[in-house]
């Protein structure tokens, strides 16, 4: 049976995350409903990973297995006709039978956006965390250097994630200021539950001078969640890209 790989983008505002839940609307449920409607058979979608309630994606990779007479180049258009405006399939390809969007991933990149302004902006309000207080970007950039590399990131993990190991590799962590918008791009081999949002919350404490940049080293060594910053709100987070082996 052919395996189809597809890239999906979505605005997560109206969904309780990506993964299917019993009593809440999720992106996976909507995707499965649309694809099943087009192919006239039950379809199970497997994603590269979960995104939390309110988190967005530009490059979520998924698969489904199905026999269909629809040409692969026409599948995206057909499925999109059944999807709401806040979910869109960008590309569909035939994948190898053993391809798995989670286990074959080489690295993932997330972006967190912060609107560092005196006033809100209704045009990006759903996609950036409004933070109207002074931030020292250079302190945040210095702190970011301590997070790059392979570490036990237990201090940046919320309870309930269920990971077998809390060791992860961060390949790159960039903090870029564009006028009143601060972009935090994190690339790693994988992420723990709420890891990126806790990293952002910690960087905000450093930028607001409640922690020192070199405190990061001790926080990581401690493996103590209580020493890190709060979990930043979900609306600022977007899954940007997944690179495969």
Catalytic residue among 52, 98, 118, 179: 52
Q: Taking the CA atoms of the chain, what radius of gyration do you get in angstroms?
A: 19
Contacts of residue 59, Cβ cutoff 8 Å, sequence gap at least 6: 7, 9, 239, 240, 241, 242
- Cα dist from 30 to 36, 48, 97, whole Å: 10, 16, 24
> How many angstroms separate the CA atoms of 21 and 64, rounded?
18
Instruction: Tell me whether residue 52 is one of the annotated catalytic residues.
Output: yes
What 3 state SS string does 128-172 have? CEECCCCCCHHHHHHHHHHHCEEEECHHHCCCCCCCCCCEEEEEE
Q: Are 129 and 232 in contact (CB under 8 A)?
A: yes
Q: Which residues are catalytic?
A: 52
């Amino acid at each position: 049976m052919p395996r189809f790989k597809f890239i999906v983008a979505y605005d997560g505002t109206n969904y309780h995350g990506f993964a299917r839940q019993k009593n809440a609307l999720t992106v996976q449920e909507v995707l499965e409903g649309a694809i099943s409607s087009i192919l006239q058979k039950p379809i199970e979608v497997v994603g590269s990973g979960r995104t939390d309630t309110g988190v967005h994606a530009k490059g979520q990779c998924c698969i489904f297995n199905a026999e269909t007479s629809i040409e692969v180049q026409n599948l995206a258009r057909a499925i999109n006709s059944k999807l709401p405006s806040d979910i869109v399939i960008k590309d569909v390809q035939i994948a190898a039978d053993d391809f798995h969007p989670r286990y074959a991933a080489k690295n993932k990149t997330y972006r967190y956006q912060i609107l560092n302004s005196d006033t809100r902006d209704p045009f990006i309000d759903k996609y950036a965390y409004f933070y109207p207080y002074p931030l020292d970007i250079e302190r945040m950039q210095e702190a970011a250097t301590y997070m790059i590399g392979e570490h036990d990131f237990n201090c940046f993990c919320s309870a309930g994630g269920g990971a077998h190991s809390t060791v992860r590799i961060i390949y790159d962590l960039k903090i870029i200021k564009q006028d009143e918008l601060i972009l935090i791009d994190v690339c790693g081999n994988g992420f723990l539950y709420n890891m990126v949002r806790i990293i952002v919350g910690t960087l905000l404490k450093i930028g607001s001078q409640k922690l020192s940049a070199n405190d990061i080293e001790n926080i990581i060594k401690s493996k103590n969640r209580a020493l890190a910053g709060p979990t930043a709100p979900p609306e600022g987070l977007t899954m940007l890209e997944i690179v495969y082996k």
